[in-house]
Amino acid sequence: MRIFDPHIHMTSRTTDDYERMHAAGVRAVVEPAFWLGQPRTNVGSFLDYFDALLGWEPYRAAQHGIRHHCALALNPKEANDPRCAAVLAELPRYLLKNSVVAVGEVGYDSMTAEEERVFEAQLTLAQEHELPVLVHTPHRDKAAGTRRTLDVVRVAGIPPGRVLIDHLNEMTVGMVAESGCWMGFSIYPHTKMDPDRMVALLKEYGTDRMLVNSAADWGRSDPLKTRQVADAMLAAGFGEDDVDQVLWRNPVAFYGQSGRLDIDTGSETGADYAGNTIKRG
């Protein structure tokens, strides 16, 4: 089984997680830029983070046989902090980098005017750079937030096929299915979506344009949730081809629109800290 986690924050995870993910079948990930818990106070702090997502983290992932790509953006939460606004001016040169396969995560957190302005500006950037967009939806007031998100996307004129609306649930999946955007589901332990609810949605809405992620970060989360959904799909009667579509081919098709997806290095070799090629069992 091959698995592509289209939304995971590996910066917050350990080497043990990389090993367990590889053993579970994860061979590729996309790490979107988000907030780190501790508020950032200046633009340089973002640039060091972006550089880590472009340099250190892909290197670390490769040592465990996992291909790492990233999405870059000013996240919705910090869009409200005037000290962070100048990141928008730095983004264009970062969006040219080879392992950047999308703009993200963008969207609403508390649905403020500032968040909307930054969201719209970054949809424009995505169009200028011909990149797909990963859109976060708010965890509070989710239905209203998702509806407004879809309105902003429509007005921006970006093709819905280049937009992934994430953190969906039973209440919001229908409106996104109708919009033509891709549908993302974050599977968390104990809260929000779980593997069985995900399988029920796949039965109802089918497997097209559906993406499943762990969204694992520094909070309560589990980087193996993608594999658990795959197993739950098989147990519920889905075939291996359905699993491969949702857990591999759909993320490949979505992020592949960037023209920058490099998934051929998913071989059983990686590099150690000295740059020597090492073989994995």
Residues that bind Zn ion (CB under 5 A): 34, 215
Residue number with CB closer to Zn ion (57 or 242)? 57
Min dist. Cβ of residue 225 to Zn ion (A): 13
Strands 277-279, 269-271: pairing kind:
antiparallel
Residue number with CB closer to Zn ion (6 or 195)? 6
- Residue found under tokens 């591999």: 248
Distance in angstroms (rounded) separating the CA atoms of residues 63 and 40: 29
Min dist. Cβ of residue 217 to Zn ion (A): 6
Residue number with CB closer to Zn ion (238 or 255)? 255
Residue number with CB closer to Zn ion (135 or 173)? 135
Min dist. Cβ of residue 275 to Zn ion (A): 30
Residue number with CB closer to Zn ion (215 or 229)? 215
Q: Is 127 exposed, middle or buried (0-12, 13-18, 19+ CB in 10 A)?
A: middle
Q: Are 17 and 216 in contact (CB under 8 A)?
A: yes
Min dist. Cβ of residue 134 to Zn ion (A): 8
**Distance between alpha carbon 246 and the CA centroid of its chain, in Å?**
14
Residue number with CB closer to Zn ion (198 or 243)? 198
Distance in angstroms (rounded) separating the CA atoms of residues 24 and 1: 8
Give the residue among 223, 249, 165, 214 at the shortest CA–CA distance from 20. Answer: 223
Residue number with CB closer to Zn ion (215 or 233)? 215
Q: Are 4 and 223 in contact (CB under 8 A)?
A: no
Q: Are 188 and 220 in contact (CB under 8 A)?
A: yes
At 246, the amino acid letter reads: V
Residue number with CB closer to Zn ion (54 or 215)? 215
Min dist. Cβ of residue 214 to Zn ion (A): 10
Distance in angstroms (rounded) separating the CA atoms of residues 193 and 280: 33
Min dist. Cβ of residue 193 to Zn ion (A): 14
In the chain, the DSSP E strands lie at: 3-5, 26-32, 67-72, 100-107, 133-136, 163-165, 182-186, 210-213, 269-271, 277-279
Helices 113-128 and 142-156: crossing angle in degrees, nearest 10, is 40
Residue 272: count other Cβ atoms within 10 Å of its Cβ. 10
Min dist. Cβ of residue 237 to Zn ion (A): 31
Q: Which residue lies nearest Zn ion, judged by its C-beta?
A: 34
Min dist. Cβ of residue 215 to Zn ion (A): 5
